[in-house]
Structure 1
Amino acid sequence: MIRPEDLLHPTVAGLYCSPGDFYVDPVRPVDRAVITHGHADHARVGHGAVLATPQTLAIMEERYGENFTERRQASAYGETASHNGVEIRLIPAGHVLGSAQAVISWQGLTMTVSGDYKRRRDPTCVPFEPAPCHVFISEATFGLPVFTHPPDAEEIGRLVQSLGQFPHRAHLVGAYALGKAQRVIRLLREAGWDRPIYVHGAMERLNRLYQREGIDLGPLLPASGLGKDALGGEVVVAPPSAIQDRWARRFADPVTAFASGWMGVRARARQRGVELPLIISDHADWTELTDTFTELAADEYWITHGREEGLLRWCEINGRKGRALRLVGYDEEDDEAAGSDPGPEKAG
């Protein structure tokens, strides 16, 4: 009888597949890596070989340069790659552009590494795809019942309402450079905001990449070279750190907003000085996590980088086998670049 630990187990470098001799989202340079998505705590530079979706490889090249790895292997959603008799199939995770779950199969055992994921609609990436497996390895960023995120359209509606109430104030929206910024822009477009949206320079390259991938962000303009008290009544999207920096002082009496699942915690919003908290997350909330567990009906659930205790208790109550994996090196929040530096970022 093959045990799950014979196929995947945690090491100091990350989750290791012994028979396949590769790691999934390793936290230090390794010979062979499978990368689930482009956020900096999962996609690191210096691996000998990287297997990922074409979009994730493009994101890594954009952020780290063309020499981010010695060898790259693009694997489209649904394709099967094989190494040392272990099959690897990438399927959509619904987190950001190109994000994937790694479905790993060997000698009749299938384990799915979710990476980061969410279940609600996102106009900038392919939705999460459930797949049968014996063991599902899940994130738990918002793994407590208190985290139930409202509909995205309602949160964007609050931003649009504020623009109408304060037409002379610039609205600065803090949003992480990969995934969240583009999602906020698309949601604004769907809400009817057709005016140019101004963006921080740190976001321009990734915005162009999204547009090359066919995601229409509408008219965007640089939020630079502007005079004092600029952009009253306009929307500016910037890294969260920038809206609290001297950079933000050039704008007209700015309304500071921040798009994150953590904005449901009032103390965090107050701590950041956020006037308009927007609860928009790229991670599954409690309901999405537990609905996913129920839908998959796996034999085991391994829970990592987040609040494992809540989901472990859910597994116990519902007669399912759960285990805290306790991988290190993954942040609770996704990707923030204050400038062009593609260093570690993590958002809600």
Structure 2
Amino acid sequence: MGMNELTSWLPVILRFADQATALAIGVFRTEGCAEYLNTGMRYLLGENNQAPAEAFVVPTFDSLQHHEAPEERIYQGWLTFGSAHTPHRSVRGEIHRRHNSLLVIAEFDVEDLERINHELMQVNREITNLQRELARGKAELAHLNELKNEFMGIAAHDLRSPLSVIQGFASLLVRRPDIPADERAELLAMIMESVRDMLNMLNNLLNVSEIESGKLNLHPQQVDMYDYMARIANLNRHLAEQKNITLTLDLESGLPLVSFDPDRIQQVMNNLLSNAFKFSHGGTTVTIRVAKSQPDAIEVSVIDQGQGIKADELNKVFRAFQRTSTQATAGEHSTGLGLAICKRIIELSGGRIGVESVYGTGSRFYFFLPLT
């Protein structure tokens, strides 16, 4: 649109301006595309304030009064502004038609403009928040990718070790059929131990996958803590005896029935007891303690007299694939997954898990289970 054509509309614009606090002005071609828009019109149309005028279309208008003028046609009434993405608003205005050009003038007060600005600020804040969430999502994906790579490296390493043992001993048995029976039995026992290590790691990996994918279903039932803990102690006592470790029970009297999934909590107890034996020397004691230490929860502790954990490493003991500097006393293997699985099972059961440790003295792993 040329400057002369805009100038030709000035008398109409000035007449309207005398009656309004603020004006929205737009000139459109009759087929709908905009040729000129001031800031107010851009705000009322609710579109990108930086977009070219050609991106806008003429607003709709309802209940307009039609007046004939000598050189133009005039429509007066309520004009509806907005878009598919922004709220619609109706304001008083006029549409002047002259040949193939439409002049749209709308009146709105300063409060309307402030409200529009406020709406735009809210939209900008939402966009900023979405951008931050997107950035966090990208960072989380990058972190998960790092964990995946770390997992693949650790899994390959931990599976390679027992596989190498199996391959070496099996090869020896094939090459030397004359090995004495007692040596053959010892080699087969080591092969079986390596197989158990592999199965343990694979089961842990499957457990992590099951928990993280939300496919782990709990089946809670009412459990008598005395019978339950006695059974768990009996199942694990042979592991303690192999290292000359004493396993004891310390159960508070008057314990109520507790509702939880007995199989999953047994998995937690087996992990905690296995770790207690693994990092303890012979001649020490491991204690299972159960008490109603809170009005609404039962507390279960596994207490050892082992090597303990350094204070600056306590915060990573429940993270997957994390190992502390404390070494197993008999060279036992660890996948770095057991305690992470324990944490997830306890949290899914509505409880929480923690650890207290004094390096060189021993550790207490404990968890709470709700009574309701």
TM-score, length-scaled by structure 2: 0.21
**Which structure has the larger Rg over C-alpha atoms?**
2
- The answer to which structure, 1 or 2, has the higher relative contact order (CA under 8 A, 6+ apart) is 1
More helix by share: 2
TM-score, length-scaled by structure 1: 0.22
